[in-house]
A = this chain, B = another copy of it.
Amino acid sequence: MTQRIAPRTGTSLRLAQGEVLTVIDPEGGQVGDLIAVADGDPGEIISNGRTFDYEETLRLTTGSRLWSNRSRVMLTILEDTAPAHDFLLTPCSEATFRHFYPDKPVHRGCFGNLAEALGPHGVTPDMIPCAFNVFMNVAVGADGRLAVLPPQTRAGDLVRFRAEMDLLIGLTACSAYASNGGSFKPIDFVIEAAG
């Protein structure tokens, strides 16, 4: 059963080890911020740095694994039809809205949505790390410069993750202007039993 995350909102969900989470961009051009936490032990959380250490690349796609701060594999990417994802940048927040969009209304952003979704499970705002930014298109220049560009996903692009441990997941439909080209859209997801 496909579930929908409304534009500029977020949710939490549980994945038992072996279950598969498919994240879908139903209209194309949208981003979802994903945080993984060890179910019942919020001190263990997804880590971009540990993932870059062990995967030895910034470009995470089919076959890549997403690692925790305790050097354990949390998720394996089983399938990926999207042109890119990002794991460099943090979730948009009230502070990033004020910084990047000083003339626009402030929104709590993916950070606020993740804090609300994960807070009841023991994840405080200070504990929220870089999210795995599904479908996000961040260009890295030869000189290291970063540019947030509109996602190049088409409607129906998806990425499938297998849970390698029991997980609590936070997932959003992104709220920031730059990361989704200024068009706020939903994100869909499906949870399937272990194969």
- Contact present for A126 and B90 (CB under 8 Å): no
- Contact present for A140 and B140 (CB under 8 Å): yes
- Contact present for A90 and B47 (CB under 8 Å): yes
A50 within 8 A of B: yes
Contact of A48 among B43, B45, B49, B71 (CB under 8 A): B49
- Contact present for A140 and B58 (CB under 8 Å): yes
Interface residues of A in 100-134 (CB under 8 A from B): 124, 126-130
Grouping DSSP codes into helix (H, G, I), strand (E, B) and loop, the A interface class, with mixed when no group exceeds half, is loop
- Contact present for A56 and B142 (CB under 8 Å): no
- Contact present for A71 and B57 (CB under 8 Å): no
CA distance A147 to B57 in the complex (A): 8
Number of interface residues of A (CB under 8 A): 37
Contact of A144 among B59, B99, B129, B146 (CB under 8 A): B59
A192 within 8 A of B: no
Q: Please provide the 10 A-B residue pairs with the shortest distance between their CB atoms, ordered closest to farther.
A: A59-B144, A71-B95, A49-B90, A49-B130, A58-B144, A43-B126, A57-B144, A57-B145, A52-B88, A56-B146
Instruction: Add 17 more A-B contacts to A53-B96, A129-B129 (CB < 8 A).
Output: A44-B126, A45-B126, A47-B130, A48-B88, A48-B130, A52-B90, A52-B146, A56-B146, A57-B145, A58-B88, A58-B140, A69-B90, A69-B126, A70-B95, A71-B95, A127-B127, A142-B142
- Provide 9 A-B residue pairs closer than 8 Å at the C-beta atoms, listed in order of the A residue: A49-B88, A49-B130, A54-B99, A56-B147, A57-B146, A69-B90, A70-B95, A71-B93, A129-B129
